[in-house]
Chains A and B, each alone.
Chain A
Amino acid sequence: QSVLTQPPSVSAAPGQKVTISCSGSSSNIGSNYVSWYQQLPGTAPKLLIYDNNKRPSGIPDRFSGSKSGTSATLGITGLQTGDEADYYCGTWDISLSAVVFGGGTKLTVL
């Protein structure tokens, strides 16, 4: 059971928009920055969003992040088949003194 809660799967058609939620508590999301990671099949994860809503160099602006209270959301617009991947949220938990991840969300682009 992950400390952060994500939906197991989401799906949408090419060109559409999808959002992935990440729910936590006051000891993690509520008091720390959230980052998001994309893991394409068979590859290592890659940083997608950091500090709630910032994109590293090279990440297209189709990817966005937001945070409100104890929840965070990843948004992806203009979906492409190449976006099919597992997506994870992560943050620091001050009660556990540990990095915590969500269970991951599998995105299917129909």
Chain B
Amino acid sequence: EVQLVESGGGLVQPGRSLRLSCTASRFTFGDYAMSWVRQAPGKGLEWVGLIRSKTYGGTTEYAASVIGRFNISRDDSKSIAYLQMNSLKTEDTAVYYCTKGGLPIDYWGQGTLVTVSS
């Protein structure tokens, strides 16, 4: 069974940065796009962005709400996807899920909570 394990969440002050990691296993990581989806407390799902596989150029797409602040990267040799979050705002507070695939998203990690507060 595919495994996705997020790490790096926690409490951070507004304006600061945080990097999340997603360690994947039990599938050929380099063959798939990887996405990040977040869910604010008590709210619905919000797509953050994705990174395509190297076969498709390794290019990225982002939600309008995070463009210019967030960056997704990947290390295929380690089967890890990253979400670098800069200039964090209080409205970025959410559980961040690492997911396999662009669409459909066929596997989700358990999520890591990011709280942006002073």
Contact = CB atoms under 8 A, between A and B. Distances in A.
B44 A47 contact: no
Interface residues of B, number: 22
A44 B62 CA distance: 21
Nearest to A96: B64
Contacts of B105: 35, 37, 45, 47, 90
Contacts, number: 62
Interface string A73-99: 000000000000010101110001111
B106 A44 contact: no
Contacts of A50: 104, 106
Contacts of B32: none
Contacts of B111: 44
B113 to A, nearest CB: 12
Interface string B76-106: 0000000000000000000001000011111
Interface stretch (B11-19, B23-31, B45-53): B45-53
Interface in A4-52: 32-33, 35, 37, 39, 44-47, 50-51
B117 interface: no
B100 to A, nearest CB: 10
Nearest to A49: B104
B61 A98 contact: yes
B61 A33 contact: no
A100 B108 contact: no
Interface of B: 35, 37, 44-47, 50, 61-64, 97, 102-111
Interface of A: 2, 32-33, 35, 37, 39, 44-47, 50-51, 56, 86, 88, 90-92, 96-104
18 contacts: A2-B44, A44-B97, A45-B97, A46-B108, A47-B104, A47-B107, A50-B106, A51-B104, A86-B44, A90-B47, A90-B103, A90-B104, A98-B62, A99-B35, A99-B50, A101-B44, A101-B45, A103-B44
